[in-house]
Amino acid sequence: AKSAGGNRFELADPEADARAITRHGLTTALPTALDRGEFFIEYQPLVHLGDGSVRGAEALVRWLHPQHGVLSPDRFIPLAEHTGLIVPLGRWVLEQSVRQARAWRERHGGAEALGPLRINVNLSPCQLTHPGLVQDTVDILERTGVEPNALCLEVTESALIGADDDLLKPLRRLAEMGVDIALDDFGTGYSNLANLRRLPVSILKLDRSFTQSMQQFPADPVDLKIVEGIVSLAHSLDLAVTVEGVETGAQAEQLRILGCDTAQGWYYARPGPPERLHDLALVDATG
């Protein structure tokens, strides 16, 4: 134990050191990780709350680091944004995911009634301001022959708060082409709800914190009112509502009753390899 007034440089926090070293190591390894093929994508099903059918999946990137094993995106996306790697990495994720959607469609062809499985891809704010976004997306869709309306780009609410027209222009162009834009983590950003009309979005993804508050039964009446209000506002603006982080059947049922359209979460499936989603979709499409 150290006496008060002792040398404060001896009070090193070994965990903080380890974190700093790891962060430094990751920053060094990141720029070449894409070329070394160390990233891979897991897919998490999006399920229609009304009939339980799988309608699509969200693409979630992971880094298989040679020393540290599988790293979650929270560990490296901020670094990728900081170093600029997010632009080529994001383009790679988009291309892989759209190719995957195409592969699902080829194997899954029968389920015309539900339409093709849709693919949701996260966009970082840095990609929004990158001038190549629209053209890259158009090129990828054309190369793969996937219809724009099978693609949904997820942008966080906080990235669009106070967004000016320059920032919205590429999203508008994509939306006009038929690409869906989803507002991710909705409800955490304190945005002006009336502002929603200005944004070229067609889907609200309700933040996981709302789903968590449906955990208790009966759920907090104020939370119920808030979700009810968001859903009715969204629907009156022609927006669909997706809920994320659904971990229990009780949450799914509560959110279905509140009118939410689509759900995602461990209750249905954890993020996983693309083949698993194909199996799930087939099971549901055939009853």
Q: Tell me: does residue 95 bind ligand C2E (CB under 6 A).
A: no
Q: Which of 15, 51, 74, 164 binds ligand C2E (CB under 6 A)?
A: 74
Q: How far apart are CA 194 and CA 192, in angstroms?
A: 5
Work out which of 185, 204, 241, 277 binds Ca ion, going by CB under 5 A: 185
d(Cα 16, Cα 73) in Å, to the nearest integer? 20
Residues 226-265 that bind ligand C2E (CB under 6 A): 244-247, 264-265
CA distance 117 to 101: 7
Cβ atoms of 232 and 213 within 8 Å: the answer is no
Nearer to ligand C2E, 200 or 271 (CB): 271
Among residue numbers 91 through 150, which ones bind Ca ion (CB under 5 A)? 122
Taking alpha carbons only, the member of 37, 72, 107, 47 closest to residue 275 is 107
From 77, 114, 174, 214, residue interacting with ligand C2E (rule: CB under 6 A): 77
CA distance 186 to 234: 11
Cβ proximity to ligand C2E, 93 vs 140, nearer residue: 93
Question: Binding of ligand C2E at residue 93 (CB under 6 A)?
Answer: yes
Question: Contact letters (x/-) for ligand C2E, 31-60, by CB under 6 A?
Answer: -------------x--------------xx
Q: Fill in the per-residue mask, 142 to 161: x = in contact with ligand C2E (CB under 6 A), - = not in contact.
A: ------------x-------
Question: Should residue 184 be labelled a site residue for Ca ion when binding is judged by CB under 5 A?
Answer: yes
Which residues sit at the interface with Ca ion, rule CB under 5 A? 122, 154, 184-185
Which residues sit at the interface with ligand C2E, rule CB under 6 A? 44, 59-61, 72-74, 77, 90, 93, 122, 124, 154, 184-185, 244-247, 264-266, 271
